[in-house]
Structure 1
Amino acid sequence: MNDNTTLAQQMVAAAPAATRNVNLSTDPKRMAVIKVWDAMFRGARKYVESEGFVAIHNMPHIVGVTGACENTDTLFTIDWYDGKKMFLPQSNQLYIEMLTQAIEGGRVYGEIQSFRKEMKADGRRLAQFSLFEIEHIGDLDELLGHLSGIVASASRQVAQDCAKELELFGRNPADLTNVTFKRMTYDAAVELLKTEGFPELQFGDDLVAEHEGRLTELMGPMFVTHYPEEIKFFNMKNNDEDSRVVNSSDLLLPLAGESAGSAEREFDADKLREKLMKSSMLEGLLRQGMKLEDFNWYLDFHKEHDVKLHSGAGVGMARVAQFILGQKDIRDCVPFLINRDNVI
């Protein structure tokens, strides 16, 4: 190649056809996405650092099954030493939960790459994305305050630093300087959606993209709280007044939909084991040849320590970027696109 050819251009030329002008293109929009992500993360970090959260570095990217979220079927498997099955992480939640009990102040955060074996390559799903996770000693209400702060600070930083980049996507920085969030319970959201074109929706159904899209059209950025226990991660704490639901929330953002999952964590050892035993997650474990004993380290910690009420969340930063950029397709909102059809 000509010596004047840039490294990025050489990489594009050498890449498979499916990746060209997707991952490595130097077009202005792709460069703008990179700058927006830089500002977005600086804004998110600025908030948590101002609130006394301690960053946890070098978190595991090779994990046991405890690195899964609700659906163990979407785990990427790794052949470990001596034939032991390991996985790429979807979350480091259970690991940093433990640290809230030991670190002074009880507030921690971390940034990982989350891996999902998504079988579709569309405008909503990625096989790899950045996850910004927080855990703290405290309840759901306090947690939602922190989540609001993270997303608002990330949006504000982009508005401040990336006016030219936002203009390429038709976004007005003024719309991102004071992002606010409404709240609605899952039960109320179901009843509202029944009047908005989804009459078949019932309590206990999971909310899908179409439901989330309609809610955000009506409400803007919002938290839907107190989901049914059966459709959420096993360790979410049941509500004291309505045991059918857990003290949980999903952050819904316009165009992006569900962008963060959050909840109070059950901290009673006996209740925690009982919840795991009856969970759909355990069924997924057994299907993959794993055992209940894979969770012993986590369950034993709760037996052996005086664990305090704690709460946490994982923020999908690609979805936050999609909201900030105002795009319908998440594939236009990430510096590197990794999905079923696209890998370098």
Structure 2
Amino acid sequence: MNDTTTLAQQMVAAAPAATRNVNLSTDPKRMAIIKVWDAMFRGARKYVESEGFVAIHNMPHIVGVTGACENTDTLFTIDWYDGRKMFLPQSNQLYIEMLTQAIEGGRVYGEIQSFRKEMKADGRRLAQFSLFEIEHIGDLDELLGHLSGIVASASRQVAQDCAKELELFGRNPADLTNVTFKRMTYEAAVELLKTEGFPELQFGDDLVAEHEGRLTELMGPMFVTHYPEEIKFFNMKNNDEDSRVVNSSDLLLPLAGESAGSAEREFDADKLREKLMKSSMLEGLLRQGMKLEDFNWYLDFHKEHEVKLHSGAGVGMARVAQFILGQKDIRDCVPFLINRDNVI
């Protein structure tokens, strides 16, 4: 290669044939995405720092089963020492939850790479993406206020700093300076969707991309709250007035769909163990050779300490970027595309 060959060109040429469709070029849109992500994260951090959240650094990227989220079938497995099985994390939620009980102010946040063994490489799924996680002492309403603040601040920072970059994607910065969010319960959303082309939908069904897309077409950015217990993560707290549902919410953004999952956490030790025992998550882990005892450290903490009501969320920043950039395909919205078809 001659001296005029760019580093990006050299990297592409050196990559295995199966991965040469990875876009490492310095085209204007690629550079615009990098600047948008920089502004997006600065905006998100600006909000949480102004609200007294403490950043947790050096969080684990090699974890036990407690680093899983809802779908344990998408865990990436690592061969650990002595033949033990470990995983790449989907979430650090359970770890930072504990810190809310001890750190002054009870508010923490962290940024990790979340890994999902997604078998489809399409416009919605990534095998690796940035997850912005928060946990705090407080309830769901307060949590949704913080989530609104994070996404609105991230969008506003991009609008302020990246007008030229947004223009490349056909986005008007004015549309991002004052993002607001509506709310609707899951049950109300199901009833609405029945009248909007999904008559077969029933209470208890999970909302999929088509459902989320129609809701955001009608409502714009929104929170769907109080999902049925059976389709959510085991440690979400049941609602006091309707035990069928948990005090949870998904943030839905236009084009991107579900962009953040959030909930109050169950803090009663006995209820927490009971919820884990009957969860589909545990069934999946047992099929993979894991044990209930893998959660002992988490369950024991609740047994041995007076744990206060706390809530938390994980924000998929690639989906936020997709909303900000106004793109239908998430693959066009990330600085580096990592999915089943692409790895460097």
TM-score by length of 2: 0.99
Give, in whole Å, the separation in 2 of the partners of 1:22 and 1:166.
22
Decide whether the 8 Å contact of 1:66 with 1:94 is kept in 2. yes
Deviations 1:154-181 (CA, angstroms, capped at 9, x unpaired): 0000001001110000000000000000
Give, in whole Å, the separation in 2 of the partners of 1:203 and 1:209.
17
Give, in whole Å, the separation in 1 of the partners of 2:40 and 2:224.
23
Q: CA deviation at 1:136?
A: 0.1
Match of 1:109, SS state, is: strand
Q: CA deviation at 1:11?
A: 1.3
Deviations 1:255-301 (CA, angstroms, capped at 9, x unpaired): 00000000000000000000000000110110000000000000000
Count of matched residue pairs: 344
Decide whether the 8 Å contact of 1:67 with 1:94 is kept in 2. yes
CA RMSD across the alignment: 0.8
Q: CA deviation at 1:7?
A: 1.6
Q: CA deviation at 1:17?
A: 4.6
Match of 1:328, SS state, is: coil
Q: CA deviation at 1:16?
A: 3.6
Give, in whole Å, the separation in 2 of the partners of 1:21 and 1:71.
29
Give, in whole Å, the separation in 1 of the partners of 2:31 and 2:20.
15
Give, in whole Å, the separation in 2 of the partners of 1:15 and 1:41.
29
Give, in whole Å, the separation in 2 of the partners of 1:329 and 1:302.
41
Match of 2:239, SS state, is: coil
Structure 1's 17 and 156: CA in aligned 2 closer, same or farther, altered over 3 A? farther
Decide whether the 8 Å contact of 1:23 with 1:335 is kept in 2. no
Match of 2:114, SS state, is: strand
Once structures 1 and 2 are overlaid, which stretch shifts more, 16-25 or 2-11? 16-25
Give, in whole Å, the separation in 2 of the partners of 1:323 and 1:32.
15
Decide whether the 8 Å contact of 1:267 with 1:302 is kept in 2. yes
Q: CA deviation at 1:26?
A: 1.1
Give, in whole Å, the separation in 1 of the partners of 2:273 and 2:115.
26
Give, in whole Å, the separation in 2 of the partners of 1:296 and 1:11.
45
Give, in whole Å, the separation in 1 of the partners of 2:258 and 2:16.
32
Give, in whole Å, the separation in 2 of the partners of 1:272 and 1:288.
22
| 1:144 alignment counterpart | 144
Q: CA deviation at 1:3?
A: 1.6
Match of 1:238, SS state, is: coil
Decide whether the 8 Å contact of 2:64 with 2:294 is kept in 1. yes
Give, in whole Å, the separation in 2 of the partners of 1:81 and 1:219.
50
Structure 2 residue ranges without an equivalent (≥5)? none
Deviations 1:60-92 (CA, angstroms, capped at 9, x unpaired): 000000000011111000010000000000000
| 2:105 alignment counterpart | 105
Decide whether the 8 Å contact of 2:12 with 2:22 is kept in 1. no
Deviations 1:73-112 (CA, angstroms, capped at 9, x unpaired): 1100001000000000000000000000000000000000
TM-score by length of 1: 0.99
Decide whether the 8 Å contact of 2:255 with 2:322 is kept in 1. yes
Give, in whole Å, the separation in 2 of the partners of 1:244 and 1:158.
40
Deviations 1:112-132 (CA, angstroms, capped at 9, x unpaired): 000000000000000000000
Decide whether the 8 Å contact of 1:69 with 1:90 is kept in 2. yes
Match of 1:60, SS state, is: coil
**Seq. identity, %:** 99
Q: CA deviation at 1:12?
A: 2.4
Once structures 1 and 2 are overlaid, which stretch shifts more, 19-28 or 211-220? 19-28
Decide whether the 8 Å contact of 2:64 with 2:87 is kept in 1. yes
Match of 1:235, SS state, is: coil
Match of 2:34, SS state, is: helix
Q: CA deviation at 1:6?
A: 2.5
Decide whether the 8 Å contact of 2:22 with 2:343 is kept in 1. no
| 2:177 alignment counterpart | 177
Structure 1 residue ranges without an equivalent (≥5)? none
Decide whether the 8 Å contact of 1:318 with 1:330 is kept in 2. yes
Give, in whole Å, the separation in 1 of the partners of 2:23 and 2:297.
40
Give, in whole Å, the separation in 2 of the partners of 1:247 and 1:79.
37
Decide whether the 8 Å contact of 2:21 with 2:342 is kept in 1. no
Q: CA deviation at 1:206?
A: 0.1
Match of 2:334, SS state, is: coil
Q: CA deviation at 1:25?
A: 1.4
Give, in whole Å, the separation in 1 of the partners of 2:219 and 2:147.
17
| 1:153 alignment counterpart | 153
Give, in whole Å, the separation in 1 of the partners of 2:153 and 2:45.
9
